[in-house]
Amino acid sequence: MTRATLLTVTAPTRPASADEHGADRAAGDAGFVLADFGAPQVRITDLGITRGDGVFETIAVIDGHPQALELHLGRLAHSAALLDLPEPDAAVWREAVLAGVADYRSRNGDGGELFAKLILTRGIEGEGRPSGWVFVDEGEDFSQQRLGIRVVTLDRGYRHDVAETSPWLLAGAKSLSYATNRAAGREAARRGADDVIFVSSDGYALEGPTSNVIVLADGVVRTPQTDQGILAGTTQAAVFDFFEERGYPTEYRRISADELRDAEALWLVSSVRQAAPITALDDREYPVDAALTADLNAYLLARTDLEHHHHHH
C-alpha cells in the first residue's frame, strides 16, 4: 500500500464559455477524484509527457496546513497564463489540495512535513482538454540543508530582461520543462556543491533552480526583483516578513553578481526546504548566523494563515 495520496483533477480549468463559476461541473461534482497512486494514470500522448508542456506548484504542508496556499494558487494561474493555458479553477484546486492532505493524514497519521504537488498539463494531444493531478506525500528531510549548503554561480545564458524581450522563453513560469534546472544541479554536484544560483549573461544574480536568493548586506535584506524572468517566491515573501518584524529594511532590486559575492550572509529559500544558509559561494566562504537562521526556519515552519493578509509584489 503506497503512502502517497493521488487525486485526478477532472475539472482543472474554468470553462472558457461559462460565465458562471464551475458551470462545466454537475451539481455535487467536486471536480476531482481520488485515484490509485500505484496505478497507471497518464496517457503517453499527454503533452506534459511528450513536450513538458504544462505547469506545476509544490506546496509545503506543515501540521496539515498547506503553507501560502493562495499564493501558490495565484502563481499556478500566472504560469498557466504565460503558457496560454486556460485559467485554473482555483476553487477546485484548493479543495483538491485540502482533500488530498486530509486523505494522507487519515491513512498515515498527523506527523511530519508533507508536500502537495499540483500538476496542470495541456492534456492529451488533439483533445484540447487540460489534465490535472494533485499528489501528497512525505517531504524529503531538509534538516541538514537548513544548517548550510555550498553553492556555485552558473550563467543562465540570458540577459536579466529576457522576460520582457522574449516572453516565449517562459522565464518566470514554473513549467514542467525542468531538464535544464536538473542539468544545473548535476553541474553543481560535479563542482562539489549542493545547489546553484543562476546569473544573467549581463551579470545579475537571479535565482536557484528551485529557490529564491536572499541577500543580507549593510543591514538590508534584499532579493532580486522579480521582473527579471524569475519566479516570485512564496517563501521569500514570508522571509521578508520575518526580517521586517526584526527591524531590517527589505528591498526588491537588481543585485549584481559582485554584490552577491560581497554579501554578509546569503540564503536560498523555497517552499519545502524553507531557508538554507549558504556556507560557500564559488570559492568564497560565508559565516552562518546559526541562531538567526534557526529562528527564521522556526518562523517559516510555524506560519499558518498570515499569507493572505498582505500580498507582496
- φ, ψ at 279 (rounded to 5°): -95, -25
Identity (one letter) of the amino acid at 155? D
Rg (C-alpha) for the chain, rounded Å, is 20
226 is in an annotated binding site: no
117 is in an annotated binding site: no
- Alpha-carbon torsion (244, 268, 207, 89), positive or negative: negative
> How large is the angle between the packed helices 290-302 and 234-245, nearest 10 degrees?
120
User: Measured between alpha carbons, how far is 52 from 278 in angstroms, rounded to an integer?
Assistant: 31
2 is in an annotated binding site: no
235 is in an annotated binding site: yes
Q: What is the mean pLDDT of residues 211-226?
A: 95
Q: pLDDT (tens digit, 9 = 90+) per residue, 154-196?
A: 999 999 999 999 999 999 999 999 999 999 999 999 999 999 9
58 is in an annotated binding site: no
Confidence (pTM): 0.92
Residue 242 Rama label (left phi>0; alpha psi -120 to 50; beta): alpha
Which three cell numbers mark 55?
505547469
Which three cell numbers mark 161?
530582461
70 burial level (CB within 10 Å; 0-12, 13-18, 19+):
middle
Per the CB < 8 A criterion, the answer to whether 216 and 264 are in contact is yes
Q: pLDDT (tens digit, 9 = 90+) per residue, 258-312?
A: 999 999 999 999 999 999 999 999 999 999 999 999 999 999 999 875 544 444 4
Query: Mind listing the domains of the chain with CATH numbers?
Result: 5-18+25-138 (3.30.470.10), 145-302 (3.20.10.10)
Which three cell numbers mark 136?
501528497
Question: What is the DSSP secondary structure assignment for residue 192, as one 8-state letter?
Answer: T
User: Measured between alpha carbons, how far is 223 from 216 in angstroms, rounded to an integer?
Assistant: 9
